[in-house]
Structure 1
Amino acid sequence: MFKLHHCQSQLHTQRNRVEYHSSQAEGIDISTLVSCEQKIDAIAREIGDLKLLIKGLNLPSDENQPTTRSIWNPSQTEPVKPLADYQSISTTSGEPVWDHSAHIIDFIKAVLKDRGSRVFETGAIEVLPSLEKLVQALEDPFAAQDVSLRNTAVAKPRAKPSMPPLDAVVTVLRWAKDHEGFTRMAWLSQILPLQTFTDICRKVYFAVEEYSEIDFLLANGYLSYIFSEHVIVSGLPGYRGYCQLCRENLDNSLSQLPLLLPASMEVIAALTLGTFNAVENSKATVAWKFASAAADLCQTLGYHRFRPQGGTQSSLRATQERLFWTVYAIEKGLSLRLGRSSNIRDAEITLPFDPDESRSTKLGRLNGIVYDQLYSPTGLSRPDDERTFIAATLAGDLRELINDTRTEISNVPDHHIDDETDPMRITYLRCDLVCEFSILALILRAIPMTQGSMNGILDDCLAVAREALDIHEQCMKDLQGCKNDPFMVTKYINWAILYCPFAPFSILFTRAVQLSDMADLARLDRFATSLQPASTPPEAITHPYRLYKLLCQAARLYFDSDTPSQSTEQNTIPNTADFWAEFDFVQSGIETATAVDQSSKTAGSQTYELYDWAQDAQQIMGFLSEDVMF
């Protein structure tokens, strides 16, 4: 700041000298005047550089701020584009909103604006009101947020909650003990040992001593999962009802947890079950609250610190470490999904990263790095070469993880399924593959465009996005064969599509819209259709099918209407040329190949485009956790 004032003082002094010399010009050497002018120009340039530096540091300045702000301001929570690059979207209060991505909003608005110049079919006309509601929600994303669990908005304590009958509970507890190798049983044992869960259930059913609300929560959470797994094998309809009863008890107990909880292993386990339950209810924000609380208590108890194991406490310590890594994995995934900084810093962990650690822990670690290094405000502001190196390294690590998953799938025996065989193992593994390919696409999307790439997206990124959708189709075929548990499709969608940021759709949608690529649009149509629920839910809940289908329909309104019949071999729709000539792809965050060439692939424009795309995808994913109907 002192240097700025000093430079301004010098500039003022030099200007006075020039004015004096001009008034006394006769007899003054012209070279003196030229020298003064050169000094003034140099000082002015230095002041300009200092102003930019001060603005980046967010220090106070005596000068009025310019109308545009710097693109990457470290003092702000997210990078800011110059306001001139956005269109003004008015809210009900009349104030403009600038903090959204203009990409899909402008596209849908253009579709709606162009309705008067086109003749739409009856089915298309019925879509237009839904698109208008979608635009309204996108422009005001915080209007209808709901952070409650389903059916628990007015949950009240019950004196004696109903529980499944004892004989059914004994049956499934014995079955779980005999099938500890099943995928879901092994997953539960990462939270607490199965024997510990069984002891808690015994404590609740044979209440010689008073049991706590945490015990009741853990018992119902555990029973809900093992009843669900048993139904897949047995198909007993009564057990499906017992699963639902335990799930309702779990929801009710979670809604009554106090803000301040005692630090104990059981409480952390209860919060972890609450996190998984919220994910399966499409409540990412609620899941984040539970995961954050669990992470805080893990660090309070020192589960993230290395301690020499020995004596009778070694088994307990191993249980605590497994619980910590379970919390770590899901918390890192939610961090990337919601675009929030993790509560667990890797630099604070002294537990060694076991090379044989579970794939979920490895993926969680990668998720944390992807957000910190690529998609956080700091990550998005990295130079292109640095971002390319980080993304390439992460992509290599994730490809190794994908290879491990595929190897595990190939090792699953292909024989007749009986009571001793886990019927859902391959489906669970393919679900993991969908998540892993989605994150890989997200990583590759961060690599700046190279010469010959279209729309700033690498061919490798597009191939990964398409493969993720192909694996998803295979998963849906597998789930169609699971007749015993009608909720398996919902569970799969919540974990594979909604838990991680599902990047493939946004990547291919942008390209399909820009290039009128009917093959990719057909692929996206199949993806959206595959998510269609068997029955329409009575509540007005934003189902992924509804949202993704609307976006596909918006694209087809221009690709299909008033278009002469033509070969499916053609990718370009000539009839849409006039519309795309009017629609400004660059301003909307969708850069055409021509626009990219004309911009000389500047780092700034690429940063804008990636930021726009990331914000756009984040906002679309956010609607899938809210109770809004379009």
Structure 2
Amino acid sequence: MFGNTGSSKRAREEDPDEGSPEMEKVACDRCRQRKTKCDRVNPCVQCIRTGSDCTYNRGHKLKEKRQRVLISSVYERRLEYIANKLDHLAEVVGRLSHGHSSHATSAGLRLPLQPSFHHPSHSSSSAPAQAEGIESTLFAHVTFTAKCLQAAVMDANLPPSDAPELTAALNSLWNTITAQTQNQILECSQPFAEPLPRSLTSDFKDLPIPSLDRIMACLRLAHEGSPSQLYWPFEFGSLGDFTHYVIRACSPGPITEMELIIVHYVLAWLFTECANLTTGDPLLKQDYEVQALVCRQSLETLLGSLSFHVATSLDAVCAMYMATIHCLQHGKPFTAWAFISKASLISQTLGLHSPHATMGPAGIEEAEEDEDKIQRKTRLFWAVYVLEKALALRLGRPSTIRDSDITLPKLRLDRRMASLLHNRLPDWIEVAGLYGRAYDEICSPKALAQTADVRESRIRAVAREWEGVIAARGELYKHPEQWTSHVLAPGLSDFIIHANRATEYSVLASIYRAIPPETEPSSSTPSSSGDRGITPSPESLAAARLSIAETNACITTMLAADADVDNVAWPSTPGFDVWVTESLLVAPVMPFLILLGGLVHSVGSEELDLDILRRIVDGVGRLVRVPRYARCRKYGRVFRVLYDVAAAFVEVRDRRRMDVYGGEMGVGVGAGGELGGLGDLDAYLDWSGGGWG
């Protein structure tokens, strides 16, 4: 045996073609097949003993040595949980991608196709391809109301004969919502679409700007104009201070992004004001409007390309404040919040909320020498405070400014600083503070954690404060010339007063809407079902009716001014038209939704509230036909489809109630809805006041 082994080793040494080292590490083919031990030489001992051919599979690859990985049972359970979640999400995305298939209820009513908010590209083909939608905060309330309307319709157990009418109205509602969903995504992803020119240098100084002679002409008109004609916002600083910014922007040398934002925003505003003052020369007026548009486009390019880091300076506070106003005027509240919160934090970092910080590092001596600069800081801080508080409540977010940290005296507006057109009323700081308290007492997580009784008492306390504000402002509106030097035409002044009142009553209706609903025993009525959350209180309904009435008065005033061809008091610039449509139609959205909730979940005032809603829907429809107010179309579409669903639902419900009453009381109901036989209208009203019957 030993001789054979030696000969096999010698054969391997003499054979230059012996297998590669890779083959020496594996058994021969026969030993591997028979699972016998092999000495892994060529030929091996086993093959020599049996006289078999010793072959190796040269294509065989060695397996890598496996390494055992030990995973604890905790991680195994986590991995299994994650895998199940991924499977569930994949299933949900698959359903959203293919859409919700309509299915029939027992009554024959088909559910409308609801939109997929994660995939707006799958919207209905019957909807507009690129519909301009309302702002995201209001759009969320509209979507919630639409779901509640649909739930109320489905819970009504309507007969099959009434199903097609309501199905068509609901489908139209969801198609409109689907068409506007994409706009909400674009608002957050790309707030400004102005492209950055390729030839632009990194300091943005080469952005288009009006010529120096045009700028000087505007500045001269602003210097020579009286406060009753041209209102200069006090938070901008003096007109002389702005002239220094213009010199830096139009002359060689470095300039910061914040300074450029100030220059382009103020120039856009200034050219717009000059266009309003220029009435005798149509060509000059048009040129002013064109230059204002150039400045607005350059401003949006700056804001869209703004760097993440913003220097802590007074210019940054002013620039972020101006960017906020620009975003609000163009329906971008979330982008506006990003700017105003930055302005608030920078102003507090600079210590503008404290009177000692406004004196400068040299102390009181420096404060006495530079009183104008201290006044500018004070005015700018309070302007930021007012705007930040209002926008925080509008978006339902906590304020970044704590009132307890402010030691700066409140700014009192004189007649030159106050303006009805720019919503600078003498009580502007007190109202902003009430906005902050409204969030703390109603919307904050701490307030929502309180019991229903505590929440209701706090809500009613805030509502009483706001009713006091409305009453005090009513006296101011009677004589605006006594507290402001900015004179407005009677028609424009009436419009702004009605618009302000519409907003004030809208806020009051929203405050009362937050009152927790009373606990009621379960029944078959829709008002006690799971979607009872939109059931409004009587106070909320009353304030909503007043708000919509003021909005209808605004629309009437606008249509009358547009019909008067000789009327030159109303500004006709695009910027003013944007301000009018945004401020006018944002206010009635919440009152409109509140009245819809009252129509669906209560009985007794359907005819009155439907008439109120119909008038505003028709008024916005007439307003849309005026070219300068075409932006109202986005609100008109939403108002129309919501009204159609509510009107159809109320009509079907009333028809059903008449049928039920006739069956129970033995009363005949005519084709026109009149009661016959022993029918008594008072008895029917008494019977119908208790619910569905």
Whole-Å separation in 1 of the counterparts to 2:589 and 2:144:
19
RMSD: 4.4
Looking at structure 2, the residues matched to 240 and 540 of structure 1 have their Cα atoms a distance apart, in angstroms, of 19
Decide which of 220, 237, 245 is 1:174's aligned counterpart: 220
**Aligned equivalents of 1:267, 1:399: Cα separation in 2:** 37
- Distance, in Å, in 2 between the alignment partners of 1:388 and 1:433 is 25
* Whole-angstrom distance in 2 between the partners of 1:284 and 1:219: 23
- Do 1:227 and 1:243's aligned partners in 2 also have CA atoms closer than 8 Å? yes
Size of the aligned set, in residue pairs, is 477
User: Is 1:460 matched up with 2:539?
Assistant: yes
1:92 and 2:93 matched: yes
State the one-letter code of the partner of 2:611: A
Q: In structure 2, how many angstroms separate the alpha carbons of the residues matched to 1:167 and 1:509?
A: 55
Q: Hey, what does 1:568 align to over in structure 2?
A: none
Amino acid at match of 2:654: I
Alignment of 1:289-438 (within 5 A): 289-307=338-356, 310-353=367-410, 358-412=426-480, 421-423=487-489, 424-438=492-506
Report what 2:550 is aligned to.
Answer: 471
5+ long unaligned stretches in structure 2: 1-90, 101-115, 117-139, 280-284, 414-424, 521-526, 562-569, 661-687
In structure 2, distance between residues paired with 1:556 and 1:215: 53
8 Å Cα contact 2:505-2:544 kept in structure 1 = yes
1:91-110 Cα distance to aligned partner (Å, 9 max, x none)? 5356999x998653142366
Structure 2 residue aligned with 1:211: 255
Task: Judge conservation of contact 1:440–1:464 (CA < 8 Å) in 2.
Answer: yes
Supply the distance in 1 between the matched residues of 2:169 and 2:436 (Cα, whole angstroms): 39
Matched, 1:555 2:642: no
**How far is the alpha carbon of 1:575 from its aligned partner?**
3.9
Counterpart of 1:195, as a letter, is: G
Q: 1:184 to 1:360 in 2, by over 3 A?
A: farther
Aligned to 2:173: 131
Shift of 1:326: 1.3
Give the CA deviation at 1:297.
0.6
Amino acid at match of 1:240: E
2: CA distance, partners of 1:408 / 1:93: 58
Q: CA deviation at 1:550?
A: 1.9
> Is the alpha carbon distance of 1:381 and 1:201 closer, same or farther for their aligned partners in structure 2, counting shifts above 3 Å?
same
The residue matched to 2:581 in structure 1 has which SS? helix
Q: Taking structure 1 as reference, are residues 484 and 541 closer, same or farther at Cα in structure 2, changes over 3 Å only?
A: closer
- CA deviations over 1:276-333 (Å, ceiling 9, x no partner): 1111111111001111111111111111123266412332122112111111111112
* Structure 2 partner of 1:443: 511
Q: Is the contact between residue 228 and residue 485 of structure 1 (CA under 8 Å) also seen in structure 2?
A: yes
Please list the CA deviations of residues 497-530 of structure 1 after superposition, one character each: whole Å capped at 9, or x if unmatched. 44x7953222212112333713212322333444
Which residue does 2:264 correspond to in 1? 220
SS in structure 2 opposite 1:443? Answer: helix
1:485 lines up with 2:573 in the alignment: yes
TM-score, normalization: structure 1? Answer: 0.64
Higher relative contact order (CA 8 A, sep 6+): 1
**Secondary structure of 1:340's match?**
coil
Give the Å deviation of 1:112.
8.8
Deviation of residue 263 (structure 1)?
0.9
- 8 Å CA contact 2:460–2:512 kept in 1: the answer is yes
C-alpha distance 501-333 of structure 1, shift in aligned 2 (>3 A): farther
- Range 126-135 or range 193-202, more displaced: 126-135
| Cα offset, 1:165, TM superposition | 3.8
Query: Deviation of residue 120 (structure 1)?
Result: 5.8
Aligned to 1:615: none
Percent of paired sites with the same residue: 22
1:504-543 to 2 correspondences below 5 Å: 504-514=591-601, 515=603, 517-532=606-621, 533-534=624-625, 543=634
Q: 1:105 to 1:322 in 2, by over 3 A?
A: same
Greater mean deviation of Cα atoms: 363-372 or 196-205: 196-205
When residues 258 and 170 of structure 1 are mapped into structure 2, their CA distance, relative to the original with a 3 A threshold, is: same
Pick aligned residue for 1:237 from 282, 286, 300: 286
Note if contact 1:147-1:283 (Cα within 8 Å) is conserved in structure 2: no
Q: Which has the larger radius of gyration?
A: 2
Conserved in 2, the CA contact under 8 Å of 1:559 and 1:576?
A: no
CA contact (8 A) 1:444 1:460 kept: yes
* Mapped contact 1:528–1:545 kept (Cα < 8 A): yes
Partner Cα distance (2:556, 2:222) in 1: 27
Return the match for 2:149 from 94, 107, 110.
107
> Where in structure 2 are the equivalents of 1:51-62 lying within 5 Å?
none
Q: What secondary structure sits across from 2:221 in the alignment? A: helix
Q: Residue 260 of structure 1 aligns to which amino acid in structure 2?
A: H
- In structure 1, C-alpha distance between the alignment counterparts of 2:159 and 2:428, rounded to whole Å: 47
**Alignment match of 1:198 (pick from 243, 254, 264):** 243
Q: Aligned pair 1:276/2:355, yes or no? A: no
Flag the 1:366–1:456 CA change in 2: closer, same or farther, 3 A.
Answer: same
Q: Distance in 2 between matches of 1:319 and 1:518?
A: 54
Change in Cα spacing, 1:143 to 1:276, as seen in structure 2 (3 Å) is closer
Q: Which of residues 200, 217, 220 is equivalent to 1:158?
A: 200
Instruction: Specify whether residues 271 and 576 from structure 1 end up closer, same or farther in structure 2 by C-alpha distance, changes over 3 A only.
Output: farther
2:636 to 538, 545, 568: 545
Check conservation: 2:442, 2:514, Cα contact below 8 A: yes
Tell me whether 1:574 sits opposite 2:655 in the alignment: yes
